Structure 1
Amino acid sequence: MGERIIGGGSTPGSTLRPERLHPVPARLKPVIAFVWYAALIGQVGGFWRYSVQLTQIEPQFAAFGMLYDAWPDGGIVIGPLDTAATRAGIPDQARLIAVNGKPVGAGVSEEAVARRLKLAGPRIVVTFDAVDGAVRKVGLQRRPPPDLAQRWAQSGSVLFTLLLFAPASLTLLVAVVLLRMRRKDDPVALLISLGFLFAVGGLFIPDRFYAWAGVDGLSSILLSLFLMCIMIAFPAFPDGRFRPRWGGWVALTAPLVALLTLLNSDATDLLGVLALLVAAIPPLIRYRRTPPGLDRQQLKWAAFGFVGGMLSMGVAAIAILVDMSGMFAGETAFTLSAIGAVGMACAFLFPPVGIIISLMRYRLWDADLAIGRSIGYASMTLLLAGIWAACMTLFNELLATSVGGSKPLIAAVSTIIAALVFGPARERINGWVDQRFQPGVLELKKVPHRLNLWQHGDLPEVLGGHIVGAVIDSLHARHAAVLIYDGNSYRTVGREGIDDVAIHNWTVTHLGTSSLAVDNIDRRDHVFPVRITLDDGDQPIGALLLGPRSDGSIYARPERTALQEIENPLAAALNSAGQHRRRADRVEAVIESLEKRVRDLETQLTLRAG
């Protein structure tokens, strides 16, 4: 009963395939705590090693014009810091053998060599083993302290690594903390948090710490464990049941695939990537089969994070492969290398964000907005970049003979064409994105036109019902109400998802205060956090009260903007409907008065006749 992470009921045709994930057994909690602290120690140790490298080691090597790195099987490899060091005789890559005659073997630490350099005089002699196998000696002069530009040249790559990968690493750790605090008994959340922990321990910052501690192979083991956890958790996302059922087979093969990836070959690396892609298929299928609602939004956020991560990893892989091909050099090669690094960092930044929002069920209805904006920005970027590059290529061929292929002129013409296309393209792309990913906001924007039709023949109660229904359907509001002011007090003319008693209790507490100010949002109010006053100058007409969305969140900016657009038309329509109601009441009163007089006359005639 709940003694395994994977297991459970089975179908008659399958006794091995699990149907669901079981609750977390208590005996695994100490193991989880150990993994958590180990990953945290790795992060702290990684930052410590980077700080040591930046402040104690690199400056001593740079003082003599050298860059350094750790040799894979022990020892230190050096290279030139600049062209002056190259002219002095330092090759692009060489194994350091001795400093001033003192050997630098595999057992000598980087700090020990840095201390030798710090205590050395104005001139040293380094002995190194060059790539061609020849042992050479080079004399180097101590340089004056570097300025800021020189300091960046020495340590820029390390600082770039820290600034680039630290956010992704910290995001993964934040995801782990939130999942452990809020969903500690959820097996899916447990496996994903463990996977994130293994990813944190196997990537980015801690590798320097592992190298210093002499456990270089630990990163590969942690990455294999990350793959195993994700292969088990994704097919059962988000409620722990494997849907479709073949996702259980994916979970069962996870340990074997993780063991194969430890071989560290190109084939096993490809196997790991394919395994991640296969593990992501069940949630996508489940998303397609799930009806609209919060469960579908959960899957959508998770899919957004995973797809964003995979696309980022794909861009990074392409950039790295092109850079390694040697087709480009100089600034282009540096740009490709930077794109690869940024893409790889984003590949581990998107998934935790999507998973956190999904499992925490926070602002689930904003998934469409986030996905739509991402697609819109990406489409505009690709379109403009493609047009500009095509124009550059075309005009370079056409104008080469007439103006000699003037690059400034070609670039200017290409930029002008791209700018002319920008406006219409943005309008079309944004229109498609809004229609595809924000249909609720578009429906709400149609309400002012519908109000022109509703206000002429409908009573306030009918109009209030129309408005409440439109808001609930468009904004996924948990509940909503429309109030009308009858000269002395507010009364409800439309409501959904909430009863009259709750509305009355809220109005007794809030009316007569600033709670009905225009654009008033009180996030602490769980009944009606959004309130819009409807008035005609100083004369109140009514109010539109909105509860939170069905996921408990407040409406996004596009939704609040759409609400503001219906404020004046709704006030006018409600005022017109109120006047129509008052006229109807007067007519009804006259009719009742006439009917009473007729009854009185009939009574008098009856008495006289008697």
Structure 2
Amino acid sequence: MATRFWGTLQWPALALPRIPERIPDLRRPWSNIFELLWFAALALAIVGPIAGTWYRFTTQGENSALMLGSRAGLVLSQDDLTKVRFAVGADAKKAGIEPGDKIVAIEGIPISQVVPLDPKYAVGKGHATDTDYALFSPIIEGNQPIDLSLTLKSPSGEVSEYQVRTGEQHIEHAARSVGMSPAMLSVVDLFHILTYPFLLFAAWLLHRRKREDLISSVLSLAVLLTIGSEQPSASFLSFVADIPESWHRHIYDLGNICLLAGILLFPFGQLRPRIVVPVLALLPMLFFLHGDFYRACFVIFMIAGVMTMLVRLRRTPPSAARQQIKWALFGFSGYSLFLSVALTCDMMKLTVGSFGSQLTLEIFAGLTFGLAFLFLQLGLLIALMRFRLYDAEVVISRSANFALITLAVAAVFAATADGLKQVVLNYYGNSSGTGPVVFAAALATVLINPIQERIQKWSENRFQKALVILRDDLPDTVRDLRETSSLAELIEAVLGQIMKGVRTTHVAATIDQGVFRTRGIAKEKVEEWKASTPGWDKTDLKDICEAKDKIFPLRIPLIPGEGEEPAGFLLVGPRPDGSIVSKDEQKALKEVAEPIGRAIRTVVKRVAYERRLESMIESNARRLNELEAKLSGSPIAAVPTSRSA
């Protein structure tokens, strides 16, 4: 009875919220609110870097923050403040301080063996005390110059005293020794601002091209918020506008959230695959994270965005949308590469043993950091603006070539130089000569061409398969078809491979000035184009492109051999986005023009010969029929021709 009762009981149906397929575009009043936020971010992105840079130029006394301990003429290790990495300024060099010396006492007070910069790492490392950090305070973060007495011990055990007056004069003297003014030194870590004009231009285009497009507008806002919260704008917010540091840290977090959301929803705001939904819901947690955990979560979210794009790339058939995703992935590749270089430089600058080396790495880190964001925005901008979408494979291939060739040559040079130095050291006990370096450079120069050829072949097969098929397989195809197929079959095969190889919207072939075959366009339109385009049949193979022509910008004469008249013309239209095929594809079309021309000439001659042969056979058969009829006295029978048969 209980089972029957509960089985017949009707429970109220709970309607779960239905997740839409995509995020809708911006509509009023939300678009108006977004406009206000966007223009506020634009104003901050313009005013902040300018005011922050001016503040850096006009505010002296902070250059020592670039190098830990440089207020005392020493550059100290972050892992151990007692360890001297190198000396800066005249006083420390005059005192004979060398890299590797250790500070054992300050003002005569002994200090612990290991004193890390961050006190939370002090446990278990010599038990650094509060007294140690108090003694190091005027060296690391003091504002007023004071006289200090430091006791140092060399690796050999020699103890020396170093009397110094703290201040900015030490690092400024080191900067002048390498030809850099103190004012320039104050902005040496801000070289990434050189990319800001391009980023602002990209942000403006992304938003203004289509204001209601949520993805491009959110990515545009991400650029502005990042510029407005990074250095030097952070200096403006903190020291000029007196905004609490937590506020502009949240501005930076909001910029990262917008960037990650734009990546996860790229290019049309799709919520497919469904894993995107929980990832988007987790993005606001960045507001509450700090330090290494923040960076780790950001990297995880970025990986999730890239993986989402790869899934969409696999599911998207060949189309403009697929090309957009490829351009975006190219931007992410450049972003990851340059950001990795910037982070590597940031880590290396804390370990080098000279002022010039650290300064160089500081500049290079800033430039590559700016280039990382520039590449990311460049890929997204081209994708969303739909500008030359179909050049993605060419750009990716060439970028891969450049990166791999550089790495390969550098690896050959480094391995050869180090190996030879080790050999010289083992046999002669001294490896300070320039011979190994010169030999390594010569070997790298000799190997650069074979390395380039191999890498280029690999990258073309990996990223430009259609072009490789067009350039390498089409000549073999026409050589096979010219012996067995008709002219119509040959031209149909050629047009099909060309359309697939260069991804054009339409293509046509003319034979003897007549339109023979077309694809993607009617013959009548081609005839109208011919009538309205004088000089279209130029036989100069070097100049096959007429960029102003929107119907057939490429006209390739099919010349069988040198000095011969063209057997016909290939007329190639633009791509689906209206752009002209790339230089590499134009070069491939020029290369296949001669084999196609020879194949057409061979087919025409073969067909003419076959027709003459058929005519002779028919004539001989008729004469034999007549002769047999005369001999037998019977009426003459009609001889069937090959066509009627």
Residues 391 and 562 (structure 1), Cα distance of their counterparts in 2 relative to 1, 3 Å cut: same
Contact 2:189-2:363 at 8 Å conserved across structures: no
Contact 1:363-1:553 at 8 Å conserved across structures: yes
Aligned equivalents of 1:86, 1:493: Cα separation in 2: 85
Aligned equivalents of 1:555, 1:350: Cα separation in 2: 23
**Counterpart residue number, 2:515:** 492
* Amino acid in the other structure paired with 1:227: N
Aligned to 2:434, the other structure's residue is in SS state: helix
Residues 587 and 205 (structure 1), Cα distance of their counterparts in 2 relative to 1, 3 Å cut: farther
Tell me the CA shift for residue 587 of structure 1: 7.0
**Counterpart residue number, 1:242:** 271
Which deviates the most, 180-189 or 474-483?
Answer: 180-189
Partner of residue 156 from structure 1, selected from 151, 172, 184? 184
Tell me the CA shift for residue 298 of structure 1: 1.8
Aligned equivalents of 1:140, 1:182: Cα separation in 2: 49
The C-alpha deviation readout for 1:289-311, integer Å capped at 9, x for no partner, is 33333332221221121132123
Residues 592 and 359 (structure 1), Cα distance of their counterparts in 2 relative to 1, 3 Å cut: farther
Aligned equivalents of 1:372, 1:423: Cα separation in 2: 17
**Counterpart residue number, 1:504:** 527
Contact 1:456-1:577 at 8 Å conserved across structures: yes
**Counterpart residue number, 1:4:** none
Residues 159 and 565 (structure 1), Cα distance of their counterparts in 2 relative to 1, 3 Å cut: farther
Residues 24 and 132 (structure 1), Cα distance of their counterparts in 2 relative to 1, 3 Å cut: farther
Residues 160 and 555 (structure 1), Cα distance of their counterparts in 2 relative to 1, 3 Å cut: farther
**Counterpart residue number, 2:407:** 382
* Amino acid in the other structure paired with 1:522: E
Tell me the CA shift for residue 590 of structure 1: 8.5
**Counterpart residue number, 2:257:** 228
Contact 1:43-1:205 at 8 Å conserved across structures: no
Contact 2:326-2:392 at 8 Å conserved across structures: yes
Aligned to 2:557, the other structure's residue is in SS state: strand
Residues 460 and 130 (structure 1), Cα distance of their counterparts in 2 relative to 1, 3 Å cut: farther
**Aligned residues with identical type, % of pairs:** 26
Tell me the CA shift for residue 149 of structure 1: 8.7
Partner of residue 344 from structure 2, selected from 309, 318, 326? 318
Aligned to 1:543, the other structure's residue is in SS state: strand
Task: Map 1:127-276 to 2 at 5 A.
Answer: 128-130=144-146, 152-157=180-185, 163-167=191-195, 169-211=196-238, 212-215=240-243, 217=245, 218-255=247-284, 257-261=285-289, 264-276=290-302
Residues 481 and 267 (structure 1), Cα distance of their counterparts in 2 relative to 1, 3 Å cut: same
Aligned to 1:241, the other structure's residue is in SS state: coil
Aligned to 2:547, the other structure's residue is in SS state: coil
Tell me the CA shift for residue 471 of structure 1: 0.4
Which deviates the most, 301-310 or 36-45?
Answer: 36-45
Aligned to 1:492, the other structure's residue is in SS state: strand
* Amino acid in the other structure paired with 1:400: L
Contact 1:39-1:198 at 8 Å conserved across structures: yes
Tell me the CA shift for residue 526 of structure 1: 2.0
**Counterpart residue number, 1:285:** 311
Contact 1:171-1:353 at 8 Å conserved across structures: no
Aligned equivalents of 1:179, 1:596: Cα separation in 2: 78
Residues 205 and 510 (structure 1), Cα distance of their counterparts in 2 relative to 1, 3 Å cut: farther
The C-alpha deviation readout for 1:374-405, integer Å capped at 9, x for no partner, is 22222222222223222233222221143421
Residues 17 and 311 (structure 1), Cα distance of their counterparts in 2 relative to 1, 3 Å cut: farther
How many equivalent pairs are there?
527
Tell me the CA shift for residue 586 of structure 1: 6.5
Aligned equivalents of 2:282, 2:16: Cα separation in 1: 15
**Counterpart residue number, 2:419:** 394
Residues 513 and 560 (structure 1), Cα distance of their counterparts in 2 relative to 1, 3 Å cut: closer
**Counterpart residue number, 2:379:** 354
**Counterpart residue number, 1:94:** none
Contact 1:235-1:248 at 8 Å conserved across structures: no
Aligned equivalents of 1:509, 1:591: Cα separation in 2: 46
Aligned to 1:273, the other structure's residue is in SS state: helix
Aligned equivalents of 1:583, 1:159: Cα separation in 2: 81
Residues 307 and 459 (structure 1), Cα distance of their counterparts in 2 relative to 1, 3 Å cut: same
Tell me the CA shift for residue 480 of structure 1: 0.7
The C-alpha deviation readout for 1:123-177, integer Å capped at 9, x for no partner, is xxxx9255979xx999999xxxxx999874333346655653322x233322222
The C-alpha deviation readout for 1:505-546, integer Å capped at 9, x for no partner, is 111111445777543323332211111123464734321110
Instruction: Give the structure-1-normalised TM-score.
Output: 0.75
Which deviates the most, 214-223 or 496-505?
Answer: 214-223
Instruction: Check if 1:576 corresponds to 2:641.
Output: no
Tell me the CA shift for residue 408 of structure 1: 0.3
Aligned to 1:321, the other structure's residue is in SS state: helix
Residues 190 and 153 (structure 1), Cα distance of their counterparts in 2 relative to 1, 3 Å cut: same
**Counterpart residue number, 2:507:** 480
Residues 265 and 539 (structure 1), Cα distance of their counterparts in 2 relative to 1, 3 Å cut: closer
Aligned equivalents of 1:431, 1:139: Cα separation in 2: 58
Tell me the CA shift for residue 232 of structure 1: 2.6
Which deviates the most, 503-512 or 45-54?
Answer: 45-54
Consecutive unaligned residues in structure 2, runs of 5 or more: 1-13, 74-87, 95-142, 150-163, 170-174, 630-634, 637-645
Aligned to 2:273, the other structure's residue is in SS state: coil
Contact 1:128-1:137 at 8 Å conserved across structures: no
The C-alpha deviation readout for 1:409-445, integer Å capped at 9, x for no partner, is 1212322333343333222222111111111221122
Aligned equivalents of 1:139, 1:480: Cα separation in 2: 73
Measured on the aligned residues, the alpha-carbon RMSD in Å equals 4.1
Aligned equivalents of 1:266, 1:466: Cα separation in 2: 58
Aligned to 1:20, the other structure's residue is in SS state: coil
**Higher RCO, Cα 8 Å, sep 6+:** 2
Tell me the CA shift for residue 32 of structure 1: 2.9
* Amino acid in the other structure paired with 1:396: K
The C-alpha deviation readout for 1:309-329, integer Å capped at 9, x for no partner, is 1232223223312333x3544
Consecutive unaligned residues in structure 1, runs of 5 or more: 1-11, 72-76, 89-126, 142-146
Aligned to 1:495, the other structure's residue is in SS state: strand
Tell me the CA shift for residue 468 of structure 1: 0.5
Residues 283 and 202 (structure 1), Cα distance of their counterparts in 2 relative to 1, 3 Å cut: same
Residues 559 and 344 (structure 1), Cα distance of their counterparts in 2 relative to 1, 3 Å cut: same
Contact 2:346-2:362 at 8 Å conserved across structures: yes
Contact 1:484-1:491 at 8 Å conserved across structures: yes
Tell me the CA shift for residue 189 of structure 1: 1.9
Contact 2:327-2:382 at 8 Å conserved across structures: yes
Instruction: Check if 1:427 corresponds to 2:453.
Output: yes
* Amino acid in the other structure paired with 1:193: S
Residues 533 and 591 (structure 1), Cα distance of their counterparts in 2 relative to 1, 3 Å cut: same
**Counterpart residue number, 1:34:** 36
Tell me the CA shift for residue 69 of structure 1: 8.2
Instruction: Check if 1:524 corresponds to 2:553.
Output: no
Find the structure with the greater CA-based Rg.
Answer: 2
Task: Map 1:332-481 to 2 at 5 A.
Answer: 332-403=357-428, 404-446=430-472, 447-481=474-508
Residues 140 and 381 (structure 1), Cα distance of their counterparts in 2 relative to 1, 3 Å cut: closer
Tell me the CA shift for residue 565 of structure 1: 0.8
Which deviates the most, 233-242 or 569-578?
Answer: 569-578
Contact 2:552-2:571 at 8 Å conserved across structures: yes
Instruction: Check if 1:83 corresponds to 2:85.
Output: no
Aligned to 1:21, the other structure's residue is in SS state: coil
The C-alpha deviation readout for 1:65-117, integer Å capped at 9, x for no partner, is x765899xxxxx9898x8369899xxxxxxxxxxxxxxxxxxxxxxxxxxxxx
Instruction: Give the structure-2-normalised TM-score.
Output: 0.71
Residues 148 and 494 (structure 1), Cα distance of their counterparts in 2 relative to 1, 3 Å cut: farther
